[in-house]
Structures are given as structure tokens and as C-alpha cells.
Chains A and B, each alone.
Chain A
Amino acid sequence: MTTFVLIHSVLLAILIATAVAITRMRALYGATMLAALFSLVTACLFVLLDAVDVAFTEAAVGVGISTVLLLGGLALTRSREAVTPRRRRLPGAVVVLLTGGVLAYAALDLPEFGSADSPVQRHPITETYLHESQKDIGIPNTVTSVLASYRGLDTLGELVVVFTAGLAVLSLLGPLARPEQVRPPADFHLADYRVIRVVTGTLMPLILLFALYVLFHGDYGPGGGFQAGVIFASGFVLYGLVFGLDKAQQVVPRAALWLLISLGLLVYVGLGLTTMLLGGSFLDYDVLDPDHPASGQHLGILVVETAIGVTVASVMTAIFFSFAARGVSR
């Protein structure tokens, strides 16, 4: 117990120190790197709290993709924060202190860490999910059962959020299907360095393989569509960073990305409609295999997770491509 507390306190102290350092820093490249460190420490905390699913996503998105996107954004603007006059800082400070105060006040009402009679533990639905899911759905990882089957509609909502956010970013940054422009060749290619080229070439298949493992192993361990999607996307981002945008777009053309972004969501909704046509309710996978409801659930969860993975991966990759294209076209 004391080791547990010690590790947590150290990690939280690092988090606070990083946050303070970010606010004190004027060089935005450095601040971006510290933000990545913040995400990495958060991911470690998630692992300690046994929330490995969340840690996966935090590590891939927070440390990998969003850092690259922030750096891409910085490349388009100035990389040094403007100095705000002292009197203009007051409103910001008031807002920050108020929000922080409200959050701290609200946190006082949270149940104690690990307490056995928190609402989550006491609610009968927890027992139902933990005990019935083995019989109803028959996969060991209850998180996946809840995410993809019991609360399938909520997850559809989440996927719609990802889809909409992706569309919003892409329409702000300009249409994806823009014709190729003539760009001046950059004078610096990471792929000119043999070490980088070889290491990236070695890692790429492993990253993609790992993404597939996370996708299909979600029934048995931490993982699933969201995690697999972001790992896939970080693989493509790495490829794009090293070999350049043109090469990356030869692998995944923009038109294919457009298609895949919608395809995942369409498959998800289509599965729901199929179950309705087969006589069940929306996203009730039992009807997919009337004789063996558990194998119907298996199939449904597999389709749903794959659909999530496809949309998440293509949204992330498409956002990276549009950022990168902006950087090159300037």
C-alpha cells in the first residue's frame, strides 16, 4: 500500500511540475514536448489505476499523434508565445482560479479512492454486468462486453463524435481531395538518414501487427477498436513523418481515407439496422445467430470493434495529412 501511495504521489508531483513548467514557458516547441510528457505520466497513472484501455489511448493520442499535430501547427505559425501585458492577464487568472476552485470543490464530493460503497460499486447493474456477461456474451473482458454490446448505442454516439470532429477539422483545413500542388522540395528529409529509414522500416510492420492484435484481442485483454485505431494511425503518422507526405499518400490515398472515415460508421449503423431487420432491437447481436446467442454476440462485437478501428484510424490519419499538407504548401 505504501509503495502504491509513494508511486502515485511521485507521478502526481511530476504532473503538477510539468503543468507549471508549461505555463512558465514561452518557447512553444518546448511546451509541446512538456505536454507530451504530461500525457505520458497520465498514461502511467492510468496503468496504475488498472485502466489499461484508457492508458493505451492516452499514450498513442496524447504522446504521439497530438504532439505531432501540435508541432505541425507550430510550424505554420510563430513558435514563441507573445507576451501578454500584465493588466490583461487578470481576467484569465480569475477564470482559471474559479474553474479550478469549482473542480476542487466538486472533487470533495467524490467517493474516497478504492472505497467499496461508492455508487459505482453499490449499483446492482455492476453485479449484473460482471456476473451475467460471461453467460450472455461469453467473453472474458467485461469492459469490451459493456462497451460494444450492453452500451453499444453509447459507443455509437462516441464514434459519431469522433467522426464529426474529424469532419469539422478536415473542412476547416480545406478539402481532402485537393489536387496535388507543385511544391518546392524540402531540403531536409528524415529518410535521408539510413538509421531512421531502417528502424522505421523495421518498426512499421510491428506497429501495424500490434494494432491488429489489440483489435482482435480486445475480447480477452485490454484493447479494442479505439486503441487499435489510434495505434494504426500513429504507425501511418510515423511513416508520413519519415518518408514524407507524398509517399504516405501513395500508401493511403486521400480518396480512400474519405471512404474509410464514413465506412466505419456506416458499418456500425448498418449492423444495428441488420439486427432490426432480423427481428431484434437496434444493436441486439443475439439475433445474428439465433441458435447460439453468444456466438452472435461475438460476431457483433467483432464487427463493431473493427468498424470503430477503421473510422478512428482514418480520421486521425486524415487530420495528420491535412496538417502536413498545409505545412508543405507554404
Chain B
Amino acid sequence: MTLIVLDVLSGILLVAGALFLLSGAVGLLRFPDFYTRIHAVGVTDAVGAGLILLGLLLRTTGWETGIRLVIILFFMALTSPTATHILAHAARRDGVRVWRKGDPRR
């Protein structure tokens, strides 16, 4: 019984993660400027990959694999927001302007 519950739960998490990845990819292609695009990528990395890792975590059998997944999750949570943060800072420092409604896509 618990196995089925875990299976369904992990399936939901995996599908949700895949949807977030997809929305991130669409956002990367469709959003109008650098800052909004980087926001889309941030969602991809943090939420999408995080949900997929959580989904996989519910499917692991041995604790060794589980610990590895938790460590990967930890590093993802640490590094990818940092990368987006410094990219946005660098863009602002370089004078990339924020898109306003009505501007053309950049």
C-alpha cells in the first residue's frame, strides 16, 4: 500500500518537475528581455530539477542513492540561484535596461 502511495506521489512530483522544466524552456524563448529570461531559467533549475530529484528520492531503494540525491539537491539549491543572482547583477552593471510594457523584444 505504502509502495503504491509512494509511486503515485513520486510520479506526480516527476510530472510537475517536467512541466516546470518545459515552462522554463518556453519562458527562455518567449520572454522579452534578459532579466525575465533569467527568471525563467531560475525556475527551471531550482523548481524543475528540485521536484524531479524529490520524485526520484521517493523511488530509491537503498539509502546510499538517497544520500547522493540529497547532496545533489543541496548543491543545486546552493549554486543555481547564485548563478542567476550574479548574472542579473552583471547585466545591471553592464547597463542592460529593464523591459517595460510596449518596448520591443530584446
Mask: chain A, 160-203; 1 = CB below 8 Å from B; 0 = not? 00000000000000000000000000001010010110010011
Closest approach, in angstroms, between the C-beta of B67 and any C-beta of chain A? 13
Interface residues on A, range: under 10
Chain B residues with CB under 8 Å of A202's CB are 78
Give complex CA distance A18, B89 in Å.
Answer: 27
Q: Are A195 and B82 in contact (CB under 8 A)?
A: yes
Q: Are A188 and B93 in contact (CB under 8 A)?
A: yes
Mask: chain B, 60-87; 1 = CB below 8 Å from A; 0 = not? 0000000000000001001100100110
Closest approach, in angstroms, between the C-beta of B87 and any C-beta of chain A? 11
Chain B residues with CB under 8 Å of A193's CB are 85-86, 89
Question: Which of B75, B78, B79, B86 meets A190, CB within 8 Å?
Answer: B86
Give complex CA distance A58, B86 in Å.
Answer: 25
Give complex CA distance A225, B75 in Å.
Answer: 24
Chain B residues with CB under 8 Å of A188's CB are 93
From 200 to 227 in chain A, residues with beta carbon under 8 angstroms from any chain B beta carbon are: 202-203
Chain B residues with CB under 8 Å of A190's CB are 86
Give complex CA distance A144, B79 in Å.
Answer: 32
Closest approach, in angstroms, between the C-beta of B23 and any C-beta of chain A? 20
Give complex CA distance A195, B86 in Å.
Answer: 9
Q: Which residue of A lies closest to B71 (CB)?
A: A206
Q: Which residue of B lies closest to A196 (CB)?
A: B86
Chain A residues with CB under 8 Å of B78's CB are 199, 202-203
Chain A residues with CB under 8 Å of B75's CB are 203
Q: Which residue of B lies closest to A203 (CB)?
A: B78
Q: Are B79 and A203 in contact (CB under 8 A)?
A: yes
Question: Which of B79, B89, B93 meets A199, CB within 8 Å?
Answer: B79
Give complex CA distance A206, B67 in Å.
Answer: 15
Chain B residues with CB under 8 Å of A195's CB are 82, 85-86
Chain B residues with CB under 8 Å of A196's CB are 82, 85-86
Give complex CA distance A81, B85 in Å.
Answer: 29
From 15 to 29 in chain B, residues with beta carbon under 8 angstroms from any chain A beta carbon are: none
Q: Which residue of B lies closest to A198 (CB)?
A: B82
Give complex CA distance A188, B93 in Å.
Answer: 9
Closest approach, in angstroms, between the C-beta of B73 and any C-beta of chain A? 14
Closest approach, in angstroms, between the C-beta of A32 and any C-beta of chain B? 15
Q: Which residue of B lies closest to A192 (CB)?
A: B89
Chain A residues with CB under 8 Å of B85's CB are 193, 195-196
Give complex CA distance A202, B89 in Å.
Answer: 21
Q: Which residue of B lies closest to A206 (CB)?
A: B75
Closest approach, in angstroms, between the C-beta of B68 and any C-beta of chain A? 12
Chain A residues with CB under 8 Å of B86's CB are 190, 193, 195-196
Give complex CA distance A60, B81 in Å.
Answer: 21
Give complex CA distance A190, B89 in Å.
Answer: 10
Give complex CA distance A79, B93 in Å.
Answer: 19
Closest approach, in angstroms, between the C-beta of B97 and any C-beta of chain A? 19
Give complex CA distance A188, B86 in Å.
Answer: 12
What 3 A-B pairs are tightest by C-beta distance, nearest first?
A199-B82, A195-B85, A195-B82
Q: Chain A interface (Cβ within 8 Å of chain B)?
A: 188, 190, 193, 195-196, 199, 202-203
Q: Chain B interface (Cβ within 8 Å of chain A)?
A: 75, 78-79, 82, 85-86, 89, 93
Question: Can you show 5 pairs from A to B with CB atoms below 8 A apart?
Answer: A193-B85, A193-B86, A195-B82, A196-B82, A203-B78
Given A193-B85, A193-B86, A203-B75, 7 more contacts at CB 8 Å?
A188-B93, A193-B89, A195-B85, A196-B86, A199-B78, A199-B79, A202-B78
